[in-house]
Amino acid sequence: MYDKMVDTLSFILISISPMILLGLRHALDVDHITAIDNLVRLHNTTRKSRWVGAGFSIGHMISVLAEMILII
C-alpha cells in the first residue's frame, strides 16, 4: 500500500512541470489570444474589458480542469 502511494506521488510530482508548460503553451495559442482580444474589444470600457477577459480565462480554466480530472 505504501509503495503504491509513493509511486502515485512521484508520478504526480514528475508530471507537474510538463503539465504547466503544456498549459502555458495552450494558453498562448493563437485561437485563445484572438478570442480574448475580440471579446475585450467588444467592451470598450476598461472595467468591462477586464471582467470579460477574466471571465473567459476562469471559465476556460474550469473546463480544462474538469477534463483533466475526468482523464486522470
> Domain count of the chain?
1
What are the tens digits of pLDDT across the range 21-45?
888 888 888 988 888 888 888 887 7
The pLDDT value given to residue 50: 83
CA distance 27 to 38: 16
**The pLDDT of residue 55 is above 70:** yes
pLDDT of residue 1 exceeding 70, the answer is no
What average pLDDT does the chain have? 82
Q: pTM above 0.75?
A: no
52 in Cβ contact with 40 (< 8 Å): yes
Q: How far apart are CA 56 and CA 64, in angstroms?
A: 12
Asked whether the predicted pLDDT for residue 2 surpasses 70, the reply is no
Q: What does the H/E/C string look like for the chain?
A: CHHHHHHHHHHHHHHHHHHHHHHHHHHCCHHHHHHHHHHHHHCCCHHHHHHHHHHHHHHHHHHHHHHHHHHC
